[in-house]
Amino acid sequence: MHPIITEHPEQRAVSVVDPDLPLVDASKNGDLAAFEELVKKYDRKLYRIAQAITHNHEDAEEVVQTAFLKAHQYLPRFQGNAKFSSWLIRIAMNETFIKLRKQRSNREQSFDGHAATNPEGNGRRLQNRLDLADWATNPESLHGTTELRQILERSLIKLNPRLRIVFILRDIEGHSIIETSGMLKLTPTAVKTRLSRARLQLREHLSPHFQQASVK
C-alpha cells in the first residue's frame, strides 16, 4: 500500500463537507470525464506546490503526473473522511520528496526530518501574494511585484524543506492549520511551531530588502 493514501487517523471520525465528492464518486464508478474535471481543478495547485519545493519545472510536472496517476489508482480506497483535495495534495507532496530523495540519496528528505538541503533551479515565479505587512513598515513598494516574488523564491530556497512546505501550504496556498496538519501528518501545534520558525527565518531574509526599499 502506498504510504500516502491512508487518511489521517484523527480525521476519521470527523464529518467532512467536500464539494469534490460527486466528482470523486463518479470517478470511482468509471467516469473518466469526472476524473478529468478533478485534474483540471487541481493540476495548477499541485504544480505550484511541487515547483515551490523542487524549484524545477520538469520535476514538478513529473510529480503532478505521477500524483494523478496514483490518485486514480488508489481512488477506490478514498473513503471521504478527509477532503479529497487534502488527500491529493499529500500524494503530490509524497511524490515530491521521493524525487528529492532519489536525486540526493545521501541526504534525508522526509516529512518528519529533512536535511538542510536546498534544491535550486529555474522554476516558475510564485504567483501567489502573501501578507508581509507586519514584516516591514512600508512593504507596499515591493508587495506583489515581480521583484518581491524573485526575492521570496530565493528566500524560500534557503528554508529547511520541512519548514518550507508548511509555509507554502499555510501562507501561500491558504490552507488552515487543521488542513495543513492533516496533509503533513503533524499535530496542529507542530504546524504552528514550524510555521512560526519559517516566518521568522523568512523575515530575516526579507527584512534587508525592505530596508533598502525604504531608503530609496
Cell 503526473 belongs to residue? 65
Q: Which helix (H) or strand (E) holds 122?
A: none
Domain hosting 181: range is 125-216
Domain boundary among 88, 111, 134: 111
Q: Are residues 148 and 206 in the same domain?
A: yes
**Residue 10 belongs to a domain:** no
What does the pLDDT read at residue 145?
Answer: 59
**Residue 177 belongs to a domain:** yes
Mean pLDDT by 10 residues, the chain (216 residues): 43 63 94 95 92 86 95 91 90 87 58 43 35 37 58 81 88 89 90 92 77 52
Q: Are residues 159 and 78 in the same domain?
A: no
| Torsion of the alpha carbons at 27, 43, 51 and 98, rounded to the nearest 10 | 10
What does the pLDDT read at residue 140?
Answer: 42
Neighbours of 11 (CB within 10 A): 17
How many domains in the chain? 2
Cell 513598515 belongs to residue? 137
**CATH assignment of the domain containing 60:** 1.10.1740.10
What does the pLDDT read at residue 195?
Answer: 92
Q: Are residues 28 and 102 in the same domain?
A: yes
What does the pLDDT read at residue 98?
Answer: 86
User: Does residue 18 contact residue 83 with C-beta atoms inside 8 Å?
Assistant: yes
Q: Are residues 94 and 21 in the same domain?
A: yes
**CATH assignment of the domain containing 196:** 1.10.10.10
